[in-house]
């Protein structure tokens, strides 16, 4: 393809002549490459019709159930001893439902489903293979178990950020939204003496310890503020925020909170509110913040300070290396394409959902888990796969059997065939993803890549030169 729209006319809108000259060059280069294209043979490989789901939170359970309900056996691996994950820490959703109950019901459905096998207190020890034919070793205390499966879903979730700022840990009056949720669900939530509550948003987020926005904390603060107001209508609530992210129907909560008298005070990241303890343990905390809209300092005494902390993904280092899938700088699993393949991983047959992918609310987690399950069922339902034919191939005449390709291949997709003498490299077509590292490191240039051939690239370079 000659990319003359996105990479030419749209980016040189004010230089039509130069853009046209560039377009001509790009077309000439593309034609030069096209002259070397050949039909590539497609392979057809069978698919093991079963799935592995890693992580037994809301995302993993939803995905496992969705896959199993389409008739495919599914193994669900959970490292902890119970299913449920982070949702068990929440005590209400926006509508007053109890997530702990909903999750318990879901866990029950998962456990009794005839096609789902749950492996709790278990972890993935090793993975090999490719879409349609994965082999995974699951490690448990009692020993290990090897399973074959066609696809897998990553749902390893996340956990709350552990704050150190704003006297958290030093004062009993400082707690996180999750701790407040626990209290709100207990038999005696708050002492009647409490008059005033201050919440601070974006604690540790958006440029501090976490670079990103965790998406759920604004909604959680609104939800908990409304719960407090229902419980104690006279309570004064102040919310320090940077930007309220009350997207979708959360706007209704935001409006309701303001109608009920919750006061929202803006702060800037350079000038966060300062919290100082009172004289004794029992005295109130003092929160002083600069309100940039008012242009003045606001001083509040508060009985409780509630910190809205963000979400930290479960450390993906070991698993992502094992699966050969990329993660972002923030350690969330990186989808293959934000818009076109939002629940696929770069490696075919691996999908992602829930907090492992990015911060999101429970309903978003469920929707994404269903999407991932839907994608995962595609190769299972089809029964066979045809890998992209952009794979490496070895010219046995040139190959000296040195094995460099085998060392550098990230997918174990090229090996030295020990059967033939002298030794020669050999591509395992189904595993090869076409990156071409083997070709770049082959000492004799015996390896070439489908569709991105040496000849083709050289022709592009030469065609580039013709314009000069």
Partner 1 sequence: MSNYQPKILGFLCNWCCYTAADSAGVGRYQYPPNLRVIRMMCSGRLDPSFPLEGLAQGADAIFVGGCHPGECHYQDGNYHALVTAALVHETLARLGINSRRFLIEWASAAEGPNFVKIITGFTEYAATLGPLGTSEGLDPTLLREKLAMAAATAKDRKIRMGLISASREMMKGADFSRATIAGLVHDKCDKLLTELVGATPR
Ligand X SMILES: Cc1cc2nc3c(=O)[nH]c(=O)nc-3n(C[C@H](O)[C@H](O)[C@H](O)COP(=O)(O)OP(=O)(O)OC[C@H]3O[C@@H](n4cnc5c(N)ncnc54)[C@H](O)[C@@H]3O)c2cc1C
Find the binding residues for ligand X in span 313-372 (CB under 6 A): 314, 319, 354-356, 360-362, 365
Question: How many Å apart are CA 300 and CA 284, to the nearest integer?
Answer: 10
197 touches 221 (CB < 8 A): no
What is the SS3 assignment for 214? coil
In terms of CB distance, is 82 or 386 closer to ligand X? 82
Q: Reply yes or no: is the peptide bond before residue 422 cis, omega within 30 of 0.
A: yes
Helix axes 217-231, 250-259, angle to 10 degrees: 40
Q: CB burial class (10 A; 0-12, 13-18, 19+) of residue 219?
A: buried
Find the binding residues for ligand X in span 140-159 (CB under 6 A): 155-159
φ and ψ of 303, to 5 deg: -75, -40
212 binds partner 1 (CB under 8 A): no
CB of 392 to ligand X, least distance (A): 31
CB of 224 to ligand X, least distance (A): 8
Find the binding residues for ligand X in span 63-122 (CB under 6 A): 77-80, 85-87, 90, 93
In terms of CB distance, is 64 or 304 closer to ligand X? 64
Question: Which of 52, 151, 216, 399 touches ligand X (CB under 6 A)?
Answer: 216
CB of 64 to ligand X, least distance (A): 11
Question: How many Å apart are CA 349 and CA 353, to the nearest integer?
Answer: 14
In terms of CB distance, is 20 or 165 closer to partner 1? 20
Give the count of alpha carbons within 13 A of 225, CB side only. 33
40 touches 451 (CB < 8 A): yes
Q: CB burial class (10 A; 0-12, 13-18, 19+) of residue 20?
A: middle
Tokens 């439902």 -> residue: 97
Q: Which entry of partner 1, ligand X, none binds 273, CB below 5 to 8 A by partner kind?
A: none
In terms of CB distance, is 298 or 435 closer to partner 1? 435
Q: Which entry of partner 1, ligand X, none binds 386, CB below 5 to 8 A by partner kind?
A: none
Q: Which entry of ligand X, partner 1, none binds 465, CB below 5 to 8 A by partner kind?
A: partner 1
Q: Which two tokens stand for residue 127?
A: 């993975």
DSSP letters, 165-196, are STTBTTBTTEEEHHHHHHHHTSSS-S-TT--E
CB of 61 to ligand X, least distance (A): 7
77 touches 139 (CB < 8 A): no
56 binds ligand X (CB under 6 A): yes
In terms of CB distance, is 56 or 456 closer to partner 1? 456
Question: How many Å apart are CA 139 and CA 73, to the nearest integer?
Answer: 19
- Angle at CA of residue 399, ends 397 and 404, nearest 5°: 175
Question: Which of 284, 371, 437, 455 touches partner 1 (CB under 8 A)?
Answer: 437
Q: Which two tokens stand for residue 439?
A: 């070709």
40 binds partner 1 (CB under 8 A): no
8 binds partner 1 (CB under 8 A): yes
CB of 340 to partner 1, least distance (A): 10
Q: Which entry of ligand X, partner 1, none binds 435, CB below 5 to 8 A by partner kind?
A: partner 1
First vs last C-alpha separation in the chain: 21
222 touches 190 (CB < 8 A): no
In terms of CB distance, is 57 or 456 closer to partner 1? 456
Q: Which entry of partner 1, ligand X, none binds 355, CB below 5 to 8 A by partner kind?
A: ligand X
Contact residues for partner 1, defined by CB under 8 A: 3, 5-8, 10-15, 18-19, 21-22, 25-26, 29, 321, 324, 326-329, 334, 337-338, 346, 390, 402, 404, 407-408, 410-411, 433-437, 439-445, 449, 452, 454, 457-458, 460-462, 464-465, 467-468
Contact residues for ligand X, defined by CB under 6 A: 54-60, 77-80, 85-87, 90, 93, 123-124, 155-160, 178, 216, 219-220, 223, 309, 311, 314, 319, 354-356, 360-362, 365
């Amino acid at each position: 393809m000659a990319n003359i729209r996105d990479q030419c006319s749209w980016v040189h809108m004010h230089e039509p002549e130069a853009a046209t000259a560039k377009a001509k060059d790009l077309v000439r280069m593309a034609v030069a490459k096209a002259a070397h294209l050949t039909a590539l043979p497609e392979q057809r490989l069978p698919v093991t019709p079963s799935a592995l789901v890693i992580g037994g939170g809301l995302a993993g359970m939803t995905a496992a159930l969705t896959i199993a309900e389409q008739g495919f056996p599914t193994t669900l691996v959970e490292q902890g001893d119970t299913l449920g994950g982070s949702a068990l820490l929440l005590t209400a959703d926006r509508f007053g439902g109890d997530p702990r109950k909903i999750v318990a019901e879901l866990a029950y459905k998962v456990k009794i489903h005839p096609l789902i096998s749950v492996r709790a207190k278990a972890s993935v020890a090793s993975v090999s293979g490719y879409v349609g034919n994965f082999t995974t070793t699951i490690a448990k205390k009692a020993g290990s178990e090897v399973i074959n499966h066609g696809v897998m879903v990553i749902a390893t979730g996340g956990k709350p950020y552990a704050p150190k700022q704003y006297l958290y840990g030093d004062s009993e009056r400082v707690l996180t939204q999750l701790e407040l949720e626990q209290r709100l669900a207990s038999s005696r939530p708050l002492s009647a003496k409490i008059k005033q509550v201050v919440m601070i948003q974006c604690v540790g987020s958006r440029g501090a310890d976490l670079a990103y926005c965790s998406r759920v904390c604004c909604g959680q603060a609104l939800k908990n503020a409304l719960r407090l107001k229902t419980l104690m209508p006279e309570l004064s609530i102040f919310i320090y925020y940077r930007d309220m992210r009350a997207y979708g129907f959360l706007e209704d909560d935001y409006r309701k909170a303001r109608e009920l008298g919750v006061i929202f005070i803006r702060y800037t990241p350079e000038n966060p509110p300062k919290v100082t303890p009172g004289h004794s343990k029992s005295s109130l905390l003092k929160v002083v913040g600069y309100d940039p809209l008012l242009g003045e300092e606001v001083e509040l005494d508060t009985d409780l300070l509630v910190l809205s902390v963000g979400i930290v993904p479960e450390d993906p280092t070991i698993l992502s290396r094992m699966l050969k899938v990329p993660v972002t700088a923030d350690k969330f699993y990186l989808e293959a394409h934000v818009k076109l393949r939002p629940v696929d991983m770069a490696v075919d047959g691996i999908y992602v959902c829930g907090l492992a992918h990015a911060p999101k609310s429970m309903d978003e987690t469920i929707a994404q888990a269903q999407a991932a399950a839907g994608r995962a069922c595609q190769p299972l339902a089809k029964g066979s796969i045809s890998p992209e034919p952009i794979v490496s191939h070895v010219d046995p005449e040139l190959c000296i059997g040195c094995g460099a390709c085998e060392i550098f291949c990230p997918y174990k997709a090229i090996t030295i065939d020990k059967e033939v003498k002298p030794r020669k490299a050999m591509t395992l077509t189904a595993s090869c993803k076409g990156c071409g590292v083997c070709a770049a490191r082959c000492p004799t240039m015996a390896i070439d890549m489908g569709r991105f051939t040496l000849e083709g690239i050289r022709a592009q370079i030469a065609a580039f030169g013709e314009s000069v």
